[in-house]
């Protein structure tokens, strides 16, 4: 019998999504063995400040925070997100920005990540953002494949950028893709 896949919708994050989004965030971080959350990181500081930080991203008009939400689920269940932040650190970098994306493990390889990324790129078309960047662990081939399939190219490497608690180092790969 064909497996019935729950359908999902993509939309901008809303206050009612935040508890579920935060839980997903923690789930994805904790999947990475040894990559423990330090206090204050990754929304660890409590729902109220997570909510403030998350919704605060939307204060900048070029930013986006999209969630994939299960339809017909009764309560809100966020199964994926993509976050995009314009680089406003300097006046001359505002044509660039960076994204972060994640999908709940049990809902991967069903096109949720693709739908989130497509929705984000559609949104950025025709606007001031010309380049989207991201960072991905070198030892994350599924994510690297996903980005490459979506037109992202390697821009460089940050060797030993992450030092794990046990002293092991991990490299971060920088990737980018042009809009339009
Ligand atoms: C990277 C990530 C966001 C991709 O999301 P996803 O929802 O799994 O992505 P998609 O389903 O669109 O595509 C992933 C794979 O599923 C396949 N796929 C897509 N739709 C499918 C479907 N309906 N049926 C079967 N396979 C499908 C794709 O071909 C792709 O195959 P690949 O492994 O050969 O590349 C997800 O793997 C993830 O959250 N990883 C953990 C967090 C992470 O690493 N984030 C990135 C940090 S930089």
Q: Is the pLDDT of residue 74 over 80?
A: no
| Residue 179: closest CA among 145, 132, 115 | 132
Q: What is the dihedral of CA 80, 44, 75, 101, to 10 degrees?
A: -10
Q: Does the C-beta of 144 come closer than 6 Å to ligand 1?
A: no
Stronger pLDDT, 155 or 37, i.e. the higher one: 155
172/161 Cα distance (integer angstroms): 6
Say yes or no to pLDDT of 164 above 70. Answer: yes
Mutate to test the pocket of ligand 1, among 30, 79, 98, 108 (most ligand atoms within 8 A of CB): 108
pLDDT band, very low/low/confident/very high, at 100 (cuts 50, 70, 90): very high
pLDDT for 2 equals 54
| Protein residue with its CA nearest to atom 28 in ligand 1 | 109
Position 46 scores a pLDDT of: 85
From atom 48 of ligand 1, which residue's Cα is the shortest distance away? 136
Q: Cα-flanking dihedrals φ and ψ of residue 136, to 5°? A: -140, 140
pLDDT band at residue 4, thresholds of 50, 70 and 90? low
pLDDT confidence of residue 42: 62
Q: CATH topology for 8-132?
A: Aminopeptidase (3.40.630)
> Tokens 């494949």 belong to which residue?
145
Instruction: Give the tokens for residue 130.
Output: 């010309």
Q: Which atom of ligand 1 is nearest to the CA of 115?
A: 12
Distance, CA 149 to ligand 1 centroid (Å)? Answer: 10
Q: What is the 3-state secondary structure of 88-119? A: CCCHHHCCEEEEEEEECHHHCCCCHHHHHHHH
Residue 113: pLDDT above 60?
yes
The answer to whether residue 38 scores a pLDDT higher than 90 is: no
Name the residue ranges covered by the structural domains of the chain. Answer: 8-132
What average pLDDT score do residues 153-164 get? 96
User: What Å distances lie between residue 160 and 137, 157, 165, 169, CA to CA?
Assistant: 10, 9, 13, 5
- What is the distance between the alpha carbons of residues 99 and 83, in angstroms, rounded to a whole number? 5
Average pLDDT over residues 41-50: 78
Decide: 108 in ligand 1 pocket, CB within 6 A: yes
Distance (Å) of CA 51 to CA 45, 104, 110, 148, 165: 10, 20, 28, 32, 28
């Amino acid at each position: 019998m064909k497996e019935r896949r729950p359908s999902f919708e993509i939309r901008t994050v809303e206050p009612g999504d935040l508890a579920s989004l935060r839980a997903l965030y923690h789930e994805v971080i904790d999947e990475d063995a040894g990559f423990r959350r330090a206090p204050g990181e990754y929304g660890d500081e409590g729902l109220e400040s997570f909510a403030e930080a998350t919704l605060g991203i939307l204060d900048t008009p070029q930013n986006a925070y999209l969630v994939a939400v299960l339809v017909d689920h009764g309560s809100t269940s966020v199964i994926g997100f993509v976050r995009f932040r314009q680089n406003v650190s300097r006046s001359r970098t505002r044509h660039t920005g960076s994204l972060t994306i994640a999908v709940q493990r049990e809902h991967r390889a069903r096109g949720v990540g693709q739908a989130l990324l497509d929705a984000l790129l559609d949104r950025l078309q025709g606007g001031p953002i010309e380049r989207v960047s991201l960072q991905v662990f070198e030892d994350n081939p599924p994510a690297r494949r996903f980005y490459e399939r979506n037109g992202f190219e390697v821009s460089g490497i940050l060797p030993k950028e992450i030092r794990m608690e046990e002293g092991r180092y991990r490299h971060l790969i920088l990737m980018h893709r042009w809009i339009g």
